[in-house]
Amino acid sequence: MSQPTILSPAELARYARHIAIPEFGVEGQEKLKRGSVLVIGSGGLGSPLLLYLAAAGVGRIGIVDFDLVDESNLQRQVLFSVDDVGRPKALVAKERLQKLNPHIEIEVYLERFSTENARALVRRYDVVADGTDNFPTRYLVNDACVLEDRVNVYASIFRFEGQVSVFNYRYADGTRGPNYRDMFPEPPPPGLVPNCAEGGVLGVLPGIIGSMQASEVIKVLTGVGEPLAGRLFLFDAATFSTRILKVPKNPDTRITGLINYDQFCGLSPKEETPVRSITVQELARLRESGADFQLIDVREPYEYGIANLGGELIPLGSIEEAADRIARDRMVVLYCRSGQRSADAIRRLQQRFGFDNLYNLEGGILAWAREIDASVPTY
């Protein structure tokens, strides 16, 4: 070595297996140490991503997550243990990662990634790794990266399938590779593609896909290898089939500023028929008062087995066929896990059958468990 290295003897020992790779060497390790990455979401994809990026020695890692560890996360979110249930994910992640590698800095943002903070957060890091779980945030991450000129290492998962790509990559000539909007100018209508909570996901899948995402982050930071820019990797664990497809740039893509992403993805409450609702406190008072009302649970039978508030079970998918079981002469309260599916059920019933006595339980079972009865399991 002609130049003194920024790596300490302890770090040189720690990263010996990286340094032994001819293309990587001390130089690659130094680039990792000087590099920074913002990991948005510390759940399924975020867990392997963070573990490998920390272990590999990325110098500064930001974690954005406002969520708390839940029992149902442990099937795949390998950062967390039983003892962590109920604690903020990003904080637990920081503790774990700092033990794994004391040579790196971990910065934690216990907040929702939103139009208010997106650009400022993205600007602080070299690379962004998107491990979020919904379309509005996917588009927000993409647009913030394009506007702030950052690489977006993207991955997403659904049941047995995963996708990986490197968006907005900066080529040697200074041009940028395609971004998410070049692939998908618009999101699918709400409800067509369920999220992991509704649609399910094989626990090991985020482990596979998130590790690939980590590998791409490391390649982008070090310049080693050929990043998956302009290409989309597809994996189907069910058949063990893999494909790499080309992602062309779309000349019609224009990103000039951040927008209202809920509205863009068809989730804006303004766009939807309003639904009357009651709070969990109001429901608790109704029950105590002995009032005559019907309580309906629109979740799936397996969810009912995990936790229920004693409502009559009519899953969302069969709510319209079961309309004659729903009272018209008294108040009816519908609930689900978080209040989204029950609001959807009410809209369908109001539109198709003209019900005017339906109320949505705000925040669903999760709110009930949080604010009324902590003995109700959450998932």
**Residue 10 vs 238, nearer CB to another protein:** 238
Alpha helices in the chain (DSSP H): 9-14, 16-19, 25-34, 46-56, 89-100, 118-123, 135-147, 180-183, 196-199, 205-222, 261-264, 280-289, 301-306, 340-353, 364-371
Q: Name the minimum Å distance from CB 17 to another protein.
A: 29
From 96-104, 159-167, 305-313, 355-363, span contacting another protein (CB under 8 A): 159-167
Binding residues for another protein, rule CB under 8 A, total 50
Question: What's the rounded Cα separation, in Å, for the pair 54 and 14?
Answer: 12
Pairing mode, strands 293-297 and 331-335: parallel
Verify binding: residue 44, another protein, rule CB under 8 A: yes
Residue 137 per-residue DSSP state: H
Residue 33 touching another protein (CB under 8 A): no
Tell me: does residue 188 bind another protein (CB under 8 A).
yes
Residues 6+ apart with CB under 8 A from 354: none
Residue choice 62, 187, 339, 363 for contact with another protein (CB under 8 A): 187
Task: Please calculate the CA angle 181-211-89 and round it to the nearest 5 degrees.
Answer: 85
Query: From residue 153, how far is each of 116, 150, 212, 227, 296 by CA, in Å?
Result: 22, 10, 10, 10, 42
Task: For the chain, report the end-to-end CA distance as a whole number of angstroms.
Answer: 53
Q: Calculate the CA 200 to chain-centre distance.
A: 13
**Stretch binding another protein (CB under 8 A), from 218-226, 233-241, 275-283, 336-344:** 233-241
Residue 212 to residue 293: CA distance in whole angstroms: 51
Q: How far apart are CA 281 and CA 374, in angstroms?
A: 14
The residue to which tokens 């639904």 are assigned: 275
Least Å from the CB of residue 157 to another protein: 5
* DSSP classification of residue 371: H
- Applying CB under 8 A, the span of 17-25, 41-49, 217-225, 297-305 interacting with another protein comes to 41-49
| Residue of 119, 147, 160, 338 interacting with another protein (CB under 8 A) | 160
- 111 forms part of the interface with another protein (CB under 8 A): no
The answer to whether the beta carbons of residues 105 and 124 sit under 8 Å apart is: no
Is 265 marked active-site? no
Q: Report the alpha-carbon distance of residue 74 to residue 352 in Å, rounded.
A: 40
3-class DSSP state for residue 231? strand
Contacting another protein within 138-157 (CB under 8 A): 138, 155-157
Binding of another protein at residue 36 (CB under 8 A)? no
* 159 touching another protein, by CB under 8 A: yes
Instruction: Single out the residue of 48, 131, 339, 364 in contact with another protein (rule: CB under 8 A).
Output: 131
Decide: is 130 part of the binding site for another protein (CB under 8 A): yes
The smaller minimum CB distance to another protein, of residues 224 and 316, is found at 316
Check residue 134 for interaction with another protein (CB under 8 A). yes
Q: What is the DSSP letter of 334?
A: E
Q: Kindly tell me which of 239 and 289 has the beta carbon lying closer to another protein.
A: 239
Of 9-17, 245-253, 294-302, 332-340, the segment contacting another protein by CB under 8 A is 245-253
133 belongs to the binding site for another protein (CB under 8 A): yes
Note whether 202 binds another protein by CB under 8 A.
no
Q: How far apart are CA 34 and CA 52, in angstroms?
A: 16
93, 146, 155, 196: the catalytic one is 196
Query: Does 264 interact with another protein (rule: CB under 8 A)?
Result: no
Active-site residue, from 336, 349, 358, 367: 336
Identity of the residue, 147 or 267, whose beta carbon is nearer to another protein in the bound complex? 267
x/- mask, another protein, residues 164-183, rule CB under 8 A, reads -------------------x
Q: Which helix (H) or strand (E) holds 109?
A: strand 105-109
Single-letter amino acid code for the residue at 109: Y
Q: Which amino acid is at 139?
A: Y
Out of 57, 59, 177, 206, name the contact with another protein by CB under 8 A.
Answer: 206
Query: Is the Cβ–Cβ distance between 52 and 211 less than 8 Å?
Result: yes
> Using CB under 8 A as the criterion, which residues of the chain lie in contact with another protein when the complex forms?
41, 43-46, 67, 73, 77, 130-135, 137-138, 155-161, 163, 183-188, 192-197, 199, 201, 206, 232, 234, 236, 239, 243-248, 250
Catalytic residues: 196, 336
